[in-house]
A = this chain, B = another copy of it.
Amino acid sequence: MSDIDISTATVSRLPRYLHAAVDLAADKEATVSSEQLAALTQVNPATVRRDLASLAITGRRGVGYDTAYLVYEISNALGLNQESPVAIVGAGNIGRALCNYLGFSERGFPIRLVLDSDQAKVGKPVGDLTVQSMDDLEELVQAHSIELGIIATPAEYALTVAERLVRAGVTSLLNFTTQMLDLGNHAVVRKVDLATELQILSYFGQRLGTTSAEAASQI
């Protein structure tokens, strides 16, 4: 949609810059220096400048970057110009908690669909949605122009669900399951595995004195 491509390392930092810029703009700060932005996002100032330069975002020497401009350009680069509706598959503990989490819609990802295969759950309210039947997945995904799917089913169903979503037109998936999902180049998948996070934390936690601490505070 937009420009040339940005390095993955940079992309992974953009949400942080965006977040900081939104906050600053809300506080009526007209400009930020790379140094301030760096402090807010725990990134090296030179890296901030490189990253922004790679988006063709330009600041003013002696002044800094325009916060409103930052918000506009970073949103643009990430493709957040318009809302992307989300579907959650699986109305168990995780699925329901995600539905009740307001942070998604606030940041441009309204949840439009919650699906479950359990007929006992279908029809029940969750947040301000109603659980719908998995049988109608394709139809509903298309009707709501869903681009993003969140898989919160038991692990054994994850792959089937993912494939159905993709065939129905979903391009990006957040996978809360313990399954690995390989969908070739039909979709992008990000796995969120909290036990994995704890394992990594555990490693770095044990070597706190030894190594530098902030090594692990990445996305």
| Chain A residues proximal to chain B, CB less than 8 Å | 1, 5-6, 8, 11-12, 14-16, 18-19, 40-42, 77-80, 84, 86, 93-94, 96-98, 100-101, 103-104, 106-107, 109, 147-148, 171-174, 178, 180, 182-219
- Chain B residues with CB below 8 A from A79, complex form: 202-203, 206
A161, B37: Cα distance in complex, Å: 24
- Chain B residues with CB below 8 A from A211, complex form: 5
- Chain B residues with CB below 8 A from A171, complex form: 205-206, 208
A100, B205: Cα distance in complex, Å: 25
CB distance from A58 to the nearest CB of B (A): 21
Residue of B nearest to A99 (CB): B93
Q: With A5-B211, A94-B101 known to touch, is A216 a contact of B190 (CB < 8 Å)?
A: yes
Number of this chain's copies in the assembly equals 2
- Chain B residues with CB below 8 A from A187, complex form: 205, 208, 213
A210, B212: Cα distance in complex, Å: 38
A178, B20: Cα distance in complex, Å: 11
CB distance from A34 to the nearest CB of B (A): 17
Contact partner, A107, options B98, B172, B180, B195, Cβ 8 Å: B195
Q: Is the CB of B97 within 8 A of A199?
A: no
Contact partner, A202, options B103, B148, B183, B209, Cβ 8 Å: B148
CB distance from A214 to the nearest CB of B (A): 7
Q: Is the CB of B201 within 8 A of A104?
A: no
- Chain B residues with CB below 8 A from A199, complex form: 14-15, 18, 78, 80, 107
CB distance from A177 to the nearest CB of B (A): 10
A209, B187: Cα distance in complex, Å: 10
3 A-B pairs closest in CB distance: A97-B97, A172-B205, A185-B213
A59, B101: Cα distance in complex, Å: 46
Q: Is the CB of A215 within 8 A of B100?
A: no
